[in-house]
Amino acid sequence: MQRVIIVGGTGRIGGALGRRLAGERPDLHVVLAGRRGTVGEKLAKEIGEQCSFKALEIHDEDPLREALRGADLVVNCAGPFQQAEPLVLAAALDAGVPYLDIADDLAFSRRAKELHARAVGRRIPAVVNGGLFPGLSNVIAGLLVERAAGAERVDFSYFVAGTGGAGPAVMASTFLLAALPATEFVDGHPVGRKAFTGKRVVEFPAPVGRRATFYIELPEVSTCAETYRVPNVSARFGTAPGIWNTNTRAIASLPRSWVGDRRRVAGMVSVLMPMLRAVDWFVGAAAAMRVDVVGRVGQERTIAWAHPETVPAIATAIAAQAGELLDGRVAPGVWWPEEAIKDKEAHIRRASEGASLILPED
């Protein structure tokens, strides 16, 4: 029986992933690892005999390494990843265990990439920036660019209603990202845009429809530009109700010493969560993405995606990425999703179960 350890397994995304993996793979044992013992034990019992809980602190290096040893995969869902170090990846490589994370921070994933040679030397595969967006979105962009034999432009557009049902770590990550200049590549050069400006109205599939989106800093902009040498790349994000976009832009305008501080942002989120949850009741939890690619000779291709529930959609995408590693389809090394996954269309279909997926006609 294979064994997967989910670090941050007591959070909303980690717990949803545990349920998904246990449901998909009856020959898999899922370990929910984290600091909240009462929550973890209860969740493991709900998932069933395939699941157990293990108390774990990622900053205790020796116990972390020993906890991972012998596993078939570790999935790191312990965000936010801003201002963090790739401690779990380093421990996984020392323990000889394949690795996947859902980091949405470019600086974090670049530090992870510095461990590429070590991963190759130990013949361990690792994927960073997994999840929905980034993650599935990278693979979608990769499919379109590869089919076009190169691209002149890639535009990522995303939407999540309210919190999407996600937990405090995801909300903290959103605010921390909003504090950063949003990278856009223009004619091959990175340009910093003010987050939550540059409004663009995008048509997403049902149930989302037309929504306003705004610049946001996400790693797939840089990784796509670098992997495929695309000269023009951008990412935009929007939420509902629309006032949340305005409020996030206002928060992003606060002094960086405040809004860029993980501890202060976490405190702010803990205060805001009851109100955010109340708003979720009215706006729902849908998510959507759209990736538009313009080829080098002007051909335009789009893949659009939408799901009525954000957290289950994220879990499905992560489970598909975990499957690539568990089934031995990722080479040794530390990779972006677009580098790691070779059969991109098949992966996109697996990762989009339950979603509306609109693929281009070839």
pLDDT category at 169 given cuts 50, 70, 90 is low
Q: What is the pLDDT of residue 178?
A: 74
Q: What are phi and psi of 240, to 5 degrees?
A: -135, 145
More confident residue, 164 or 345: 345
How many CB atoms are closer than 10 A to CB 59?
8
DSSP output for 175-205: HHHHTSPEEEEETTEEEEE-TT-S-EEEEPP
What is the rounded CA–CA span in Å between residue 216 and residue 188?
A: 18
pLDDT at 260: 67
Query: Given the structure tokens 């999407």, which residue do they identify?
Result: 164
What mean pLDDT value characterizes the chain?
Answer: 92
C-beta pairs of 273-282 under 8 Å, 24+ apart in sequence: 273/163, 273/168, 273/171, 276/162, 276/163, 276/171, 277/163, 279/162, 279/241, 279/244, 280/161, 280/162, 280/163, 280/165, 282/241
> Do the beta carbons of residue 271 and residue 193 sit within 8 Å?
no
Structure confidence by residue, pLDDT tens digits, 262-275: 777 777 777 777 77
All structural domains of the chain: 2-131+315-349 (3.40.50.720), 132-311+351-358 (3.30.360.10)
Run of H or E residues at 262: helix 262-283
pLDDT at position 170 is 66
Burial class (CB in 10 A: 0-12, 13-18, 19+), 307: buried
pLDDT by residue (tens digit) across 68-99? 999 999 999 998 898 899 999 999 999 999 99
Q: What distance in Å separates the CA atoms of residue 141 and residue 295, rounded to the nearest whole number?
A: 12
DSSP 8-state assignment for residue 360: P
Give the N- to C-terminal CA distance of the chain in Å, as an integer.
41
User: What are φ and ψ of residue 122, in 5° steps?
Assistant: -95, 5
Residue that has been written with the tokens 């809980």 in this structure: 53
pLDDT, mean of residues 245-272: 75
* pLDDT (tens digit per residue) in 323-348: 999 999 999 999 999 999 999 999 99
Confidence of residue 22 (pLDDT cuts 50, 70, 90): very high
d(CA 41, CA 214): 40
pLDDT tops 70 at residue 362: no
CB atoms within 10 A of CB 256: 10
Give the pLDDT band (50/70/90) at residue 250.
confident
The residues pairing with 101 across neighbouring beta strands, listed in sequence order, are: 76
